Amino acid sequence: MSVFYDILYAIKTRLQTISQGPPVHVRKRAIILESDSLPVIVVSPASEVIGLDTFKKMAGIDYTVQVTLVQAGNRIYESDTQDWLQLRETVRRLLYQPELTGISDVIAMELDMQPAFESVVGATSNYDISGMTITYRVLEERIT
């Protein structure tokens, strides 16, 4: 399998260790489906950039992953705030580690948090959404 998919899968596996946590899905895009039960976590690939060139045909590839938390907001503005922030913190603590099970040659990682609560733009505004991106720099040997 590709390194990118291995990273996505490793993140999914790690998030599935959350006790009584929401279901985690790996998807091509950060998108929720009508059949999703809420809350849900979606892990999706963002960008794949050659971030570093070194001697001896080695390159550092930056894989950026989008992790998105979704819950039913339904214009309830107080009672579920604590649970939501707790889930977000748990996800952040699980992912803010340089090591990723099954992925070797990770030499760096960076995690960027997006706003804690984002409402979907438009009339369909009953979802609470929060995201973060994690970028892993993985060493790879060039062919020539």
Partner 1 sequence: MATYYVGDTVRLAVAFRNPANALVDPSSVTLSISIGNSTTVLVYPASAGMTRTSTGNYSYNLTLTTPGELTYTWAGTGAVAANRTGGFDVLSARTSPASFWSPANDHLVFDSLETLVLTRLDGSSQTLLRCLRLPANLQIGEAGAMRAYGTQTDWNIWIQECPTAPEINAKLTDAYGKNYRIDEVVQSVVLNMWEIKSTADAGVGL
Does position 111 bind partner 1 by CB under 8 A? no
CB-based contacts of 79, cutoff 8 Å, min separation 6: none
What are the C-alpha distances in Å from 53 to residues 46, 58, 138, 141?
Answer: 21, 6, 12, 10
Minimum CB separation from partner 1 for residue 119, in Å?
Answer: 6
Does position 81 bind partner 1 by CB under 8 A? no
Does position 75 bind partner 1 by CB under 8 A? yes
The nearer residue to partner 1, 60 or 136, going by C-beta atoms, is 136
Q: Which amino acid is at 49?
A: V
Q: What is the pairing mode between strands 40-53 and 24-26? A: parallel
Does position 120 bind partner 1 by CB under 8 A? yes
Out of 1, 82, 93, 122, point to the residue binding partner 1 (CB under 8 A).
Answer: 122
What are the C-alpha distances in Å from 100 to residues 19, 45, 142?
Answer: 19, 16, 22
CB-based contacts of 136, cutoff 8 Å, min separation 6: 7, 62, 63, 65, 100, 103, 106, 108, 109
Out of 71, 91, 109, 137, point to the residue binding partner 1 (CB under 8 A).
Answer: 71
Minimum CB separation from partner 1 for residue 126, in Å?
Answer: 4
Q: Give the interface segment with partner 1, choosing from 14-22, 54-62, 99-107, 124-132 (CB under 8 A).
A: 124-132
Does position 78 bind partner 1 by CB under 8 A? no
Question: Could you say which residues in the range 23-62 bind partner 1, by CB under 8 A?
Answer: 29-32, 34, 36-38, 42, 44, 46
